[in-house]
A and B are shown apart, each in its own frame.
Chain A
């Protein structure tokens, strides 16, 4: 510390007013042992009733509805969906983008907030990463079956074959294959690596032989030595940096699928960023939907505090404002360019026919409802956050529908005018993926460390060697 301020009395004078006190990361902290118990007890304890109530329908959807819709489509053909000329991209692509979007907030919360050294991120990071991994799985499924003949999916990979054919690397659709696969691999690695020390905790706490064996294997012999931590921290920073780049890249490539074409309403230079921000916004909505009930039912209200929820809501607001800016830019450029088709398409999104309800829903939610998050009162009400989170997901789903279908159903030529209605198989598959996502998420909540135990400990006063609770001899000063 500097020499300018030396004695305690002067320091006290500079302390902020009580109203501006920073909230502690963990409320009611009773030490590291208590914290370890608190954060691991849910995975070790008896399975509560609410878990079964949520799990069974999700599992039904994932194991019955999902395979039925999937196999019927694969065996019969894409014709079972509503996709038809001129709307060849229907709910499959809408849901693909939606799921990729849900994934993004997880990576952003975990990686970017780590790089910016936000301590509060430690409590929600793991849950966010799990959301990412499972939703990328759901997203990756759609393009794989959307191609129609799923057994030819290997064509998309650069595998030498007797036909002498290669993938066509000049198409963003091809890049999607790389992007989504990379996203799945990297986010899983990131998620897994964060859990290695926590697997160690579970291993050391295990009371049964089976638990001990499973977590010993998962922890891979982690001892927590200073040398291990040294390399671990470096690897974590590198992964965080790469994940932050991924957030921008994956959705940008999805955006490029659209904007490299010349279709009015798709061709805009802001589209890559548009999809990134839309994705993040949608993901924050899902984050609120997941966190609000789980923090209560898993007994984590002291850990994922109101202050943390407040910050998640603020981030959702920021993402919402940026998405509103991009909407404004889209309409502004349609006007500014003077392009007849652009102006027509954007006019029809709100004042056309057939899909104008979806257009207004997205404006109503993404532009209007989001503004509620400016108010502290709303941000501190968990019910409100849950509802707004759900609405954001619906609003962003409508946005993707408006983008995909809204630009395709009435193209330049009247010959390319038509309508699109999803069939029961479209909807069934979506319900199936939702079920699979929630089933996986509930399994994660029940069996794995939902909070990054080691990271939370590191930001406690007990973890600070210069703090009295951390063992400093001289109190209060560093």
Chain B
């Protein structure tokens, strides 16, 4: 059954990839998806079709230049238009981008070099708090307590320092990654996992408690407001003149910001993906793999394992640092709640679900988990609460009596947990296993190849 489905799908792919068909198919799908979402901005099937159309650029065989052109057109023109009509989709895509970058960063540590890291959110937190501190009034509030905040405190830095801080976030997080990496040189395996967990918790607790003696983080309440980069007057005007007829209403300041952050996040993610691909194919990437598979032999081959492990930690951390800065600016608010162990494990779930070490897999994993979190679960919750208000009866059960505690959005842990266990037992290499692993096994993507490898 499974095999026949698979072969049928492959036949379909062959058919679609013949001659000029892929171009027509892809463009047709994009037009269809765009039209659907454009006409009914709130329909989820429409959004799914649009997502499918977007992914078709990737999996249909086309001229590279055409692929690139289509992707850029889709990302820079179509998505902002749709986003202006329904900001929620921009939010979804923004989050997917953020988590993709995080998952790719973690993938370098866990997937490429095989070092388990349960404190990954710490680097994200450091990036976020970096901009949250310098991009808010906080430096002037060092001696005030959480509750006493003077009304007219000026902001510490001009808003456009934000762009500089993306790079600073990269540097600071990388340095922190090096510091956390130091114990890595001595510790291996599950002890390393525990150390990183403890490290992540320490960073979160610091964020939670550093409101005294000097008020750095404003404690559990978090820092707000945080500045966003300035939106040039002209851009908004131009955007409104050109796009307004298409969108159908005036694009407000907030929507414009949503689009701006979406574009920045996209830029960062593209940079991250390119860097990851280049690293994976480089001498460094192969050395990481060698260390992952067998550190002793790697050392015998002249690989400096210590240096490379530290490097993996620093590179992985730097992605999270950049995204942290972006996150702080886009939310204009950070608090320690965002950087819990749950979130670290959430990112790990993305990596594992998609496929440890596989770049496409990790992005797919991030997309699936994010969609699950903020769209599927939410609409399911909504559906349940509607059922609760209705008089529906199912098999003698009155939905009215359903406990209103049963809210699927609140049960992320359950879902992450079950996904992790099932993946570990049945498919430890993930949904889309890394190409290198597949190649090693002679083209068989199935099975427990992790068992023998000792990742």
Q: Do A and B bind each other?
A: no
